[in-house]
Chain A
Amino acid sequence: MTDATLSAAGFEPVHVDRQVQKLTRPSLSYWQDAWRRLKANRRAFISLYIVIGLLLFTVAGPWVWTVDPSTQDLDQVSKPPGSDRRAFIAEPYQPWEGLRATVPEGPASSAPPTNVKTVGTTTTQAVRLTWDPVAGAAGYRIYRNIYRPTPGGALGLPLGDVLTPDQVSFEDRLDLEPMTYYYAVLTLDRFGQALSAPASLEVKVVRVITPAQAVERKLVATEADAKVGDTLQLALHPFGTDYLGRDLLARLMTGARVSLLIGIFAPLFYVLLGIAYGSAAGFMGGKTDSALMRFADFVVALPFLLFMILFKIAFGIGPGESGIFPMLVALVLLSWPSTARLVRGQILQIREEGYIGASRLLGARTGYLVMRHMIPNTMGVILVTLTFAIPSAIFTEAFLSFIGMGVAPPTPSWGSMCNEGIRTMLTTPHELIFPAVLISITVLAFNLLGDGLRDAFDARMRSRE
């Protein structure tokens, strides 16, 4: 054993660093932390921008694009975006007495009429046709087709019969559009039966407008500004027009108001109702709680869409009303129980937490507990519920309007626009595509945003991906 030398220095207390845990970063509140996590989630953040963009489109859009959504532009009906808008200014329509010719003598011929040609310019006012008379023909029949005729194929729309053989002209003024038509002329026997094969002619029709019409449609200020022979552009419709010639962009904006109004306010109201109901049940507990929740179970069991429709009829829509309000009320009445259940569960859970007990020990009153602890702690879950409730409300509105049980025409909503668009899906698909794409983008954005919020707010609820 070595001799130990003990000195006073050996009994000095060890230096203690009181600040082992140094906070090097500023502390984050719950909300700041959630915001930070949301910002890290790129998908959710892009969705947030899309949502903001949609709100701008809805709220600020009508100030930028001031076209009235109910005005009909009858020059441009069911036009897809980017269609030709040129129109030539022409004199007002002048009646035409037609052309006559002497029918050549000779044996009856079954040859088709020859030399079929147009007279003058072919405009949307009128297309004038003429042909050489055919010996032995008792009359002529004229067809118009929008497709190039094939041998033996359909001739198209029968425009009319000319029943005097010396009349060798026909004037077509039937709903002419600026496009290429294929006319067919054939001869008739005296019983009105087709005698010959058709002679066809391709005709390109140009759109014309009279100075008076140009002024009426506010394309020029006065008739003096529109000189015959000039070209002008018809009103611009960036997203095209619908089957009644209404501007699709303006309608989409107004429709967005309806869809988002229902989509945002209905969930807002029923989530509030659910919070009140659920927290009441959670706080009171016991028999009141089970009675309240039993009633909520009944409401959940109601077949949702059937009752949406039932309530809507029960409220009744008077003439000239849009039907938005009944739909809001019906949605709120039927959708609150899910939030109520959720909030009640949260309240029951939080009530048992240690910090509530501690707070109560320190003399906190119920009101303080609710405001300081319960509501902030359920807020994240509620916000997530709200974000997921919005797309489902938009879906419900679209669904009901699609089957004709939603907002009443002429109020546009995305769902009712889809309903109108689906009828002409084959010929003018843009009338269906635009509202459908908007619904899909909105629902998608809110869903992804909801995913992001859920991940940001609550680590326990985080989807395990």
Chain B
Amino acid sequence: MLRYILKRLLHGLITVWFIATATFIAMHAVPGDPLSGEKAMTPEIRRNLEAKYGLDKPVVDQYRIFLVNMAKGDFGISYTQQNREVNDIIREGFPVSATLGILAIVFAALGGVLLGALTATYRNRLPDVVIMFLVILGISVPSFVFAALGQLALVKINAWSGFTLFPVAGWGTVMHMVVPSLVLGLGTMAYLTRLMRSSMLEVTNTDYVRTARSKGLPPARIFLKHQLRNAILPVVTVLGPAIAAITTGGFVVELVFAIPGLGRYFVQAVQQLDYTVIMGTTVFYGAFLVLMVIIVDIVYGLIDPRVRLKA
């Protein structure tokens, strides 16, 4: 077990190195350099700035310095926001994005499992038909449309009721978080519902469920102990990719609801070509996702005794 975790972590580290290298190469392939595009500057100023950011060194040296600093957890200083560390920006934006993402994933997982189990139980009856229709809608409608509709609904509801329970935009209180995380989780929830439904239907036809039924166990117990626990496994496997989808989906939700998260900083940094911020955020996100996938795999091994975690 420990060996497995260590091996996965090592592999994860190599992956992060690959992500960092790809980011470095992509950023250095950008036409022009970080200092061009700013207002015209004299050669002396330019030389000083290049020295400050280490741009005067050969590319190989820059790459080495980048890797060493990254290993120390230092992503450098922003190009456009003077003397602001990239770490600072991540420290400020990431908790917001993470809160939003965690709420969304909790909502998506709970909703997906419950709705999926419900549709499988009422197969081909009214609840199934209605929910599956909504699921198809949820898979086909882009997240920004949901975000826009959610905001529109909030505006109308607030105007109609005369007081603001859920604010239309912004961040700060719990009430700010509810609607954006619902919107963010919706697509993933639809996907998980579909997965849960087919997995639940499969489990219903297994021998152990038939045995449990023939033993005369109460249906609630069969449902909870035998069906739900087994049907949930495939849902856990896709949680890794789902987390990735939700963190990046957060970009749009953060833009529409004016939430000061990492996604919004990233989009801003790209618009201003703030190289260090772009590289730092990308590597950070990549490392986070790699870690999440590893955790999901380990958790999967823990809850499913059939899966042996082999080193």
Contacts and interface: CB of A to CB of B under 8 A. Distances in A.
Interface of A: 297-298, 301-307, 309-311, 313-316, 391, 395, 398-399, 402-405, 415, 418-419, 422, 425-426, 432, 436, 439-441, 443-444, 447-448, 463-465
Contacts, number: 123
Given A313-B270, A422-B256, A439 B198 contact: no
Contact of A314 (B29, B140, B143, B256): B29
Given A403-B267, A436-B145, A440-B140, A314 B251 contact: no
Interface in B186-207: 198, 201-202
Q: 7 closest A-B pairs (Cβ-Cβ)? A: A444-B140, A305-B248, A314-B29, A298-B18, A316-B31, A314-B26, A443-B140
B286 A301 contact: yes
A404 B271 contact: yes
B222 interface: no
Contacts of A441: 140
B15 interface: yes
B15 A306 contact: no
Contact of B145 (A302, A303, A403, A440): A440
A402 B145 CA distance: 10
A310 B198 contact: no
Interface of B: 14-15, 18-19, 22-23, 26-27, 29-31, 136-137, 139-145, 148, 151-152, 155, 198, 201-202, 244, 247-248, 251-252, 255-256, 266-267, 270-271, 273, 278, 281-282, 285-286, 289-290, 293
Contacts of B273: 313
Contact of A447 (B140, B267, B289): B140
A464 B19 CA distance: 38
7 contacts: A302-B19, A303-B286, A309-B266, A310-B282, A315-B29, A403-B255, A440-B141
Given A313-B30, A313-B273, A439-B142, A306 B252 contact: no
B286 A418 contact: no
B22 A302 contact: yes
Contacts of B282: 303, 306-307, 310
Contacts of B23: 310
Contact of A307 (B22, B141, B267, B271): B22
Given A301-B19, A311-B26, A402-B144, 11 more contacts: A301-B18, A301-B286, A301-B293, A303-B19, A303-B248, A305-B248, A309-B266, A398-B144, A403-B267, A443-B139, A447-B140
Given A304-B248, A398-B142, A399-B143, A314 B285 contact: no
The CB with the most chain A CB atoms within 10 A, among B26, B141, B271, is that of: B26
A182 B282 CA distance: 54
A440 B142 contact: yes
Given A301-B19, A403-B251, A310 B27 contact: yes
B142 A395 contact: yes
B15 A303 contact: no
A300 B289 CA distance: 11
A440 B137 CA distance: 8
A418 B145 contact: yes
B267 A422 contact: no
A464 B120 CA distance: 11
A306 B139 CA distance: 22
A419 B267 CA distance: 15
Given A307-B26, A464-B198, A436 B142 contact: yes
A464 B15 contact: no
B15 A298 contact: yes
A276 B32 CA distance: 35
A249 B29 CA distance: 38
A304 B251 CA distance: 13
A324 to B, nearest CB: 18
B15 A309 contact: no
A426 B142 contact: no
Contacts of A439: 141-142, 145
Contacts of B281: 306
Contact of B136 (A419, A447, A464): A447
A447 B141 CA distance: 12
Contact of B201 (A395, A425, A465): A465
Contacts of A395: 142
Contact of A402 (B18, B30, B151, B252): B252
Contacts of A314: 26-27, 29-30
A316 B201 CA distance: 49
A418 B267 contact: no
B27 A426 contact: no
B198 A301 contact: no
Contacts of B151: 425
Nearest to A419: B144
Given A303-B289, A403-B251, A464-B198, A418 B27 contact: no
